[in-house]
Structure formats: structure tokens, C-alpha cells
Amino acid sequence: MQEDTIKLLKIFRMEDESPHSTNEMKNIEVSGRNINFASQPPNQSRSKYILTDFFTSIDQIKNPTFEENLTALSKIHRFLTGFSILNPSVWIVLMILGLLSSVIAFCVDYLSEKLMDTREFFASTESGFWNFCIWMLYTLALSWLAAATTKWISPDAEGSGIPEMKAIIAGVKLPHCLSTQTFIAKFTGLIAGSAAGLSIGREGPFVHVAGIIAHKLTKYRIFRHLRTNLTLRNQIMGASVAAGVAAAFGAPVGGVLFSIEVTATYYYVSNLWKGIFCAVWCVIGFDLFRSGEVTDLINLTKLDPIEFGYEIFGFTLLGTLCGFVGAFFIKFTGKMIYNRKNLKYPAIHTRFRYTLFVGAICGILTYMLPYMQLHDKIVINQMFRADNLTTYEKTYWSKPTLSLNLFIYVITKLLLTSLSISCQIPCGVFVPIFAAGSTFGRLFGQILDSIFGTEYRGVYAVVGAAALTSSVTHTLSIAIIVFELTGQIHYFLPMMVGVLLAYSISSGFGISYYDSLLEMKGLPYLPSIKSSWLYANCAKDAVDPQYPFITHEATIKDLAKAIQQSKSAIVKIPVVDDDMNLMFDVNLTNIKRYIMMVYQERLHTLSRDSRSHIEKYFSYLLHEIDDIEYEQSIACRDDSEMKEVDSFLSTPVEFSSDILQLDDSPLSIPENTPLVKVHFLFMMLGLTQIYVAYRGKLMGVVSKEMFLKHR
């Protein structure tokens, strides 16, 4: 009997790891103790518990999804309960997440730098021709390796990773993006691409890797209760974005604000401490590696304080120019990705040919221009210097052609960055754009110095770096990151003037780089800007009439058919009366559990052949076997077996069962509800589906996934 139960368990995929799959616990865990809100004594205050700390979706509030404490941590829970601390497992996960993110970031930086040093070592012979050949061969080989990781290990490792994290935090299920294969491909491909000399950043991939680490941590048995609750899961995933940014720069506060800007349409302030706590632990690991001087870092600056005066017009002009440059960069890069994706030039736009083509361009230009061989962080440190660049030891910026070299660097860097991030490899955009912005700001300061005279060339470089990055990413938290990196805040006014202008101008031309990637990849996401289609149609225009439902007189067979008809977007099944009036709904996973319970209760009354036929039947409904195989199994059954099977399938459903956990107040809207309101409900309430009714009668279902596809 146990073997039959296990077989049926696999048939119904009860091991589903969806955040919506476990809505069965009646008690929730707050401050390390189990609390049942319904059973609390009237004199006990509940005001100290913030509702949004545990629920961000209207569907979660009725059926909390916290599991009971695990034995291994029970003593720790009891100890911490006395101090009214929140669930300590959250603290532990965030601490481990921050430390592991810094370790992974260090490994990527260290290995890629060592590989680049190896290229310089082998390309330092006395023969210029052989140096060039070795340089190009090394570059092309590692470029090919970077493309191979996304081809044969995981295609989901391509690109930045921030658009995928944005969709995942919004509630979209992208399980392959958080797989072990994606982690390996991201890690290996990022090292190979960076060591090849491609102009790619690491901040986006670090964010993606941190998200994978968070996902894997919550799969461990000791932390599984954090995974089954959608709210805590999203909070931890949001903290992973902050950890990824902190791992790249060592800026915890800016990293948290950046994670909010790029991933959240609406943000619960009560989640802020989790992101900061995780980022702080990441910076602790970051500082440990910094003390060993094993990676390049952005040094603290010693810039003179700047007073309000005519210089503010220079920063205004710089911010304006950065806004236009950033908008052009987004358009140009989007065009490159679009052409490659649609194979506009098939001769070069295949995965490996295009990557090798871009690698060849990067190899030639970096070999010909010595200052293009400098690491991005070295360039940033040089640009942020308060004194003249020619005083820097082993400088590549010669005095007679300083402005020309800076101009060439900016143009070349933007071009190589656009080409590199259009390849199908793991890549980011933050640091290359930051380096180009710092050089552009320094060039702008040099020009002003030659015309009007100025002592703030380093400040112009700092503002240029932040403004250009802000115009590309459409984030204002870049200013906070720069303040943390430089250790100075006395140039706050020119910084905010430049960043705000760049952000505003770039936003006027279109969406950010991350949102453009999200659209080109076709990732489902509810945008904050609503299209005209939403205002011209109603809920009845987006409804799916082919939806599964059951009646209040349903049987086990009806439940099984509802599971068969349900799509990936449907997580709840509506229950109606004879007149199609909506009565309540029930979670799909709870339906599977109920069938399992009934099967276990009836198991001793069924023969082995009948149990085998029931398993065949459910496999047929779930499309695991075809019609021919199922018909052959029916032909081999005698009448007595079929009667047992029919008797089991005709068992009436007891809707009063605690396993089903009926929601007797499902959210429904009239058929004439404007779609713009439906859009708003999906974003604000965290809904997965909405019922559309006409005078109380159910017309259909609008799910978030179908809504996005229909839009």
C-alpha cells in the first residue's frame, strides 16, 4: 500500500515547490513562537506585529503558510523569543547569503584578473607580431568559452540577470533561472568573458548569482518554511539583489536602495532592515578581501569641498549631456540586441560567430590603445583624482594629447560595452558605464579648465560617472553608491543636479536598459506605465472562458478533471452552484492533497489491479500517458475492477474537510471593470487570478499570466 501511495504522490507532483503550494498551516510563527491570531486572548496586544511583515498578497492572509519550528533550532528559537526577535532563521539565511555572495564575487574578480595577467605575461615577448597573435588567440578562446557556457550549460545565464530577478520578485515563476546549471554557467561565463577583455560588468551577474544562492538556501530542510511563504521568499530574494550590488562595490546602503529601484514597483518599508542586514554581512566579507589587497577597489577620494557658484551651471550641462548619451546608448544597444536576436546578418549573428566577432574587435582595440587595457576600477580611480592625470605613475594619459585620449576612451568604451553586452554571454553594464561616465566627466572638466579655469576636475569625473550610470539604469541610488565609494558627501548639490537631470532626460526618451532587456526577452511583468489598450477594454475582453471549475456536488473524478484542465497560470479552482453563482474557491494543491487523503482511506478496499488502473487514469489526465496506452489498459480490465474504480471516482467531495481550506470570499469583479483597474489590482494586491462575474454568475477567470500575454 505504501508503494501505491508513493506512486500516486509522484503522479500528482506533490513535491511541487511553488510558493503557493502549501497553504495548510493554521498557526504562523512570529518572533520564534507559534501564534494563532484567531485564538489569541482579547487582552493580548497584536499591534507589535506588522501585517505586511508576513503577508503581501491578499490570498495569503486567510491561510498563513508558516511551518512549525524545526527541532534543530527549537532551543535557539526559545532563547531568542525572550528578546522579542523575529524568526532567527531569517537572520541566519540573510547572514549566510551575504557572506556567500562576497565569496563568489571575490572568486570571480580574482580568477578573471589572474587570467588577464596571464594574457599579458604570454603577450610580452620581443616580437610584436607574436604578441598580437597571442593576444588575439587568448581573447578569442575565452570569448568562445563564455558563449559556450550559455549554449551547453544554461541559456538562462545570458545577459545581466537583473530583469529575471525583477520578474521573479514580481511573482513570475522562472525556475530554470535559479537552477544550479545557471549558477555554473553564470560563474564560468562571467570569468571567461571578463578575462577575454570584453567590456562587461559584473554587478548584474552578481545579483543573479546571489538570487540563486538565496533560492538554494531556502530549499534546505531547516529553512524550507521561508520558501513556502511567498512574502518571506520575496523579501529574501529582494535582499539578494542588495547583496549582489554590495558584493560588487561594498556599498550596503546604496545597494539596498538600488535593489528597491530596479526590482520593486511598490515596496514595503518593513522589509528594509532585511536588505540592509544582508548587505552589511556582504560588506563584512568584502572588507576581509579588501584588507588582503587581492582585488582592485575604488579608492576613497580627497576632493576639495565645492561651494555654490557659477560651477553649478557646468554640472547642469554635464548632467544634460549624460542624459542624452545614456538614452542613445540604450537605443543603440537595444538595436544591436534586436539585430542579433532576429539574425539580421546571419553570417555573423549566430551565437559563436557574433561573440568571436565582438571579441576580435575588443582584442584589436585593446591591443592598439594601451589605456583600453586598464581595468575599469583603475580607470575610475585615476579619473577621480583631484590632481592632474599626468602625475600618476605609469600613466597612459600623456599631457599633449590628454583630452584626445579621454575622448577616444569614452567613444571606444561605449562602443565596446554596447557590443559586448549584446552577446549571448553573462554580462553586466554597470561598471563599464561607470568608467565611461567618469572619463566623460573628467574630459568635460578638462575642457572647462582650459576655457574658464576650474579646480574641480575630479568632482566632474565623479558626477559624470553617477550621471551617465543613472541615465542608463534609470536609478537615483547611484548617487548614494558614489558617496559610499568615495567617502565624501560635500559635493551633494552638484551630484544631485547632474543625476536628476540625466535621469529625467533619459527617461523622456524611453525605458531603462533593464526594462528594455525585460521586454526583449519577453519576460512576463506588470509595467507601471499602462498602455492605451488597458483603457479601451474591460475585464470581459481579457477573460479566459475555457477555465476549470467544479460544482458543489463534485466527485473525485470532477476534481481530477479540474486538475487536468488547469493551466500553469491557474492556482485556484472556483466552486459554483447549479446556476453558476460563485460560492468559493479552493487551491489546486489542496485538491491534490484531498485526493491523496481519500485514496489512502480507500486503499484497503481496492484490489491491486484497481489501484494500478487508478494510477493509469490519473497519469492519463495529466498527459503522462497517451490515449492508446490508456485504452489498452482499459481493455485488459474486467467488470469487477471497473466497478471498484468507478466507485472510487464517484466518491462525493466533502467540502467541509480541513484539507481543502475553502476561501469563501474569493475576489470577483464585474465584467465591465476597466482593464486598467484589473492591472492595478494585480500589482497592489499580489493576485494570481481574478474571477469575472455578471450579476453574480461566473463568466471566467483572468490570471496574471494570461493578462500579460493578452496585453
Burial of 119 (0-12, 13-18, 19+ CB in 10 A): buried
Least reliable range by pLDDT among 271-285, 347-361, 459-473:
271-285
Mean pLDDT of the chain: 81
User: Is the confidence at residue 322, as pLDDT, over 80?
Assistant: yes
For 470-503, the pLDDT digits (tens) are 999 999 999 999 998 888 888 888 999 999 999 9
Amino acid at 676: V
CA dist 19 and 7 (Å) reads 23
Least reliable range by pLDDT among 8-12, 112-116, 485-489, 652-656:
8-12
Three-state DSSP state, 702: strand
User: Is the confidence at residue 690, as pLDDT, over 50?
Assistant: yes
- Rounded to two decimals, the pTM is 0.83
What does the H/E/C string look like for 408-455?
Answer: HHHHHHHHHHHHHHCCCCECECHHHHHHHHHHHHHHHHHHHHHHCCCC
Three-state DSSP state, 698: strand
The C-alpha torsion from 529 through 531 and 535 to 538, rounded to 10°, is -110
Nearest to 420 by CA among 330, 352, 354, 513: 354
DSSP 591: H
For 121-131, the pLDDT digits (tens) are 998 888 888 99
For 133-174, the pLDDT digits (tens) are 999 999 999 999 999 999 999 999 999 999 999 888 877 778
Q: If pLDDT is split at 50, 70 and 90, which confidence band does 29 have? A: very low
Give the pLDDT of residue 25. 39
Give φ, ψ of 274 to 5 degrees: -65, -45
CA dist 490 and 469 (Å) reads 20
Angstrom distances, CA of residue 508 to CA of 163, 324, 326, 512, 655: 21, 10, 11, 10, 54
DSSP 554: -
The 10 Å Cβ neighbour count of residue 50 is: 12
Give me the residue label for grid cell 485514496.
Answer: 599
Beta strand segments in 22-168, E: 28-30, 33-35
Three-state DSSP state, 247: helix
Give the pLDDT of residue 23. 41
Contact 456, 306 (CB under 8 A): yes
Give the pLDDT of residue 103. 93
What does the H/E/C string look like for 316-364?
Answer: HHHHHHHHHHHHHHHHHHHHHHHHHHCCCCCCCCCHHHHHHHHHHHHHH
Strand 572-576 with 582-587, pairing = antiparallel
Residue 33: strand pairing partners = 30
- Could you give the percent of the chain with pLDDT greater than 90? 36
Give the pLDDT of residue 20. 43
Give the pLDDT of residue 100. 95
Distance in Å from the first CA to the final CA of the chain: 49
Least reliable range by pLDDT among 4-8, 70-74, 172-176, 614-618:
70-74
Contact 273, 251 (CB under 8 A): no
The 10 Å Cβ neighbour count of residue 587 is: 22
Domains of the chain: 311-520 (1.10.3080.10)
CA dist 573 and 566 (Å) reads 8
Q: For residues 120-143, b (16+ Cβ closer than 10 Å) or e, as one string?
A: eeebeeeeeeebeebbbebbbebb
Angstrom distances, CA of residue 59 to CA of 38, 50, 527, 625: 17, 17, 21, 34
The 10 Å Cβ neighbour count of residue 161 is: 31
Give the pLDDT of residue 374. 87
CA dist 456 and 303 (Å) reads 8
User: Is the confidence at residue 695, as pLDDT, over 50?
Assistant: yes
Q: If pLDDT is split at 50, 70 and 90, which confidence band does 659 have? A: confident
Give φ, ψ of 57 to 5 degrees: -125, 140
User: Is the confidence at residue 11, as pLDDT, over 70?
Assistant: no
Which set of grid coordinates corresponds to residue 686?
Answer: 499580489
Angstrom distances, CA of residue 210 to CA of 64, 148, 215, 601, 699: 27, 22, 9, 44, 43
- Please report how many Cα atoms fall inside a 13 Å half-sphere around the Cα of residue 452, on the Cβ side: 11
Strand 697-703 with 689-694, pairing = antiparallel
| Alpha helices (runs of H) in 521-657, residue ranges in sequence order | 532-536, 539-542, 556-565, 588-602, 608-621, 627-635, 639-649
Least reliable range by pLDDT among 297-306, 361-370, 641-650:
297-306
